[in-house]
Amino acid sequence: MRHIVFLSGAGISAESGISTFRDAGGLWDRYNVMDVCSAEALSRNRQFVLDFYNKRRRELADKRLNAAHLMIAELQHEFPGRVLNITQNIDDLFEKAGCQGTIHLHGELIKARCELCGYVWEIGYTDIVGTEHCPACGASIATKSTFSSSKSPWIDSIFFNNNELALYRD
């Protein structure tokens, strides 16, 4: 086997009970994306944005893995270093399944990020309240997610990984 690259979106976790964003009845049917998923919204109505992500985080705590998460983890264990997992999802179901090195294009719900220095740390399924500050520099914090108008911080890693994988072609 050469290499396998998985690229998944919200549909892969829908079977686990996680709402998709764009499908009929999805989150964007109930929320305006620019009200909860933009730097401007965080600046304008910080608590509303934090509450949106806090709710997603609390809902995530009891979600169960599905066959797709388990299959990708199994392939990673069977073929170490040859299976790259890239997802648009912000849930932690791949990690719960045992996947290693998953690239989360849009961030991760269970992590917080400092708005000033960029320090990232795991917060699990706890809420972020507006009064919390970065343990590294004392600035404001937010969920580690990529807003709709932002470039994913992982985009350079993906190109690097694709270039690295291309080196293994026969």
- d(C-alpha 45, C-alpha 13), whole Å: 29
Q: How far is CA 129 from CA 46, 52, 56, 73, in A?
A: 10, 12, 14, 33
Where helices occur in 10-149 by DSSP H, the ranges are 11-14, 27-30, 33-36, 39-44, 46-60, 67-78, 93-97
Residue 3 falls in the annotated catalytic set: no
Token pair of 127 as six digits: 């809420």
User: Cβ contacts of residue 98 below 8 Å, gap of 6+?
Assistant: 73, 76, 77
Q: Which of 77, 104, 106, 133 is catalytic?
A: 106
- Write out the catalytic residue numbers: 106
